[in-house]
Amino acid sequence: MKTELPCISQLTENALLFTATLTQELPAQQRIWHLVRQLRELPDVRQTLQEIVPGMGNLMIVCKVDMSAKLPAFANLLETLWLESEAIACAGRQLEIPTWYGGSAGPDLAEVAAHTGLTEAEVIDTHSSGEYQVYCLGFQPGFTYLGGMDTRLATPRKTTPRQSTPAGSVGIGGRQTGIYPAVSPAGWQIIGRTDLALFDIQKSPPCLLQPGDTIRFLPQ
């Protein structure tokens, strides 16, 4: 693995943004998972941490104290840990997501088909044949950013987002696919929907899917 120094910047008095510079998405994400594990295992660092939020190729670190004076030392520690880290696969679960494609569940299926030059049936077959890994959660609680989508399905986001999209909607945005856990505005192309509850505040953890999980979409 080529050792490339990350970009580390201060967001607020107690928050830092760590951005990987690796061009390969999955290895970068796997090394970020490793970095999260390392930070949580260091007693001195763990006592300082308030929250660690993995993103796509980045990591937001929120501390309990003002980090302005300590930023250089902490940045050096992060760089050292990053250079020593490895691309490790999380011991995630294998899950199937029952999905209804097209119709009212997937109003943008025809648009994706037209853009890609595939038939609607080919879009469904290609999307449901893939194996996806949860890279991170974000945008809203439980929203999944999934890696592994067939590049033939890549479709730009909508020019004008929908004001409301049902919970469980499966969408394509650029080269990624993901699932909306709650009713919300949506700019991704919606091709299907699942009735699984992806976020439940009463459960622990509240998010059904976690970084490192591997999923397959199961057409219904």
User: What value does the mean pLDDT of the chain take?
Assistant: 88
Q: Tell me, what's the pLDDT at 28? A: 79
* 42's tokens: 């260091």
> How far is residue 20's CA from residue 31's CA, in Å, rounded to a whole number?
9
71/62: higher pLDDT: 62
Sign (positive or negative) of CA dihedral 16, 135, 209, 187: positive
Is residue 27 scored above 80 in pLDDT?
A: no
Q: 174 — alpha (psi -120 to 50), left (phi > 0) or beta?
A: left
Tell me the pLDDT band of 215, cut-offs 50, 70 and 90. Answer: very high
On whether the pTM is more than 0.85, the answer is no
> How far is residue 218's CA from residue 153's CA, in Å, rounded to a whole number?
17
Q: Tell me, what's the pLDDT at 1? A: 45
Q: What is the pLDDT of residues 157-196, one digit of tens each?
A: 999 999 999 999 999 999 999 999 999 999 999 999 999 9
* Rg of the Cα atoms in the chain: 19
Q: 104 — alpha (psi -120 to 50), left (phi > 0) or beta?
A: alpha
Is residue 129 scored above 50 in pLDDT?
A: yes
Q: What is the pLDDT of residues 80-97, one digit of tens each?
A: 888 877 666 666 789 999
> How far is residue 129's CA from residue 171's CA, in Å, rounded to a whole number?
15
CB-facing half-sphere around the CA of 154: CA atoms within 13 A: 7
Q: Tell me, what's the pLDDT at 196? A: 94
Q: Tell me, what's the pLDDT at 22? A: 62
Q: Which domains does the chain have, with CATH numbers?
A: 7-84 (3.30.1360.40), 94-219 (2.40.100.10)
Is residue 46 scored above 70 in pLDDT?
A: yes
Q: What is the mean pLDDT of the segment spanning 14-40?
A: 80
106/74: higher pLDDT: 106
What is the b/e burial string over 35-68, where b = at least 16 CB atoms within 10 angstroms of the residue's CB?
Answer: bbebbeeeeebeebeeebebbebbbbbebeeebe
DSSP-derived pairing of the beta strands 132-137 and 189-193 = unpaired
Percent of the chain with pLDDT over 70: 94
Percent of the chain with pLDDT over 90: 46
When mean pLDDT is compared across 65-79, 106-120, 140-154, 184-198, the lowest value belongs to: 65-79
> How far is residue 156's CA from residue 112's CA, in Å, rounded to a whole number?
9
> How far is residue 134's CA from residue 91's CA, in Å, rounded to a whole number?
12
Most confident of 4-8, 40-44, 58-62: 58-62
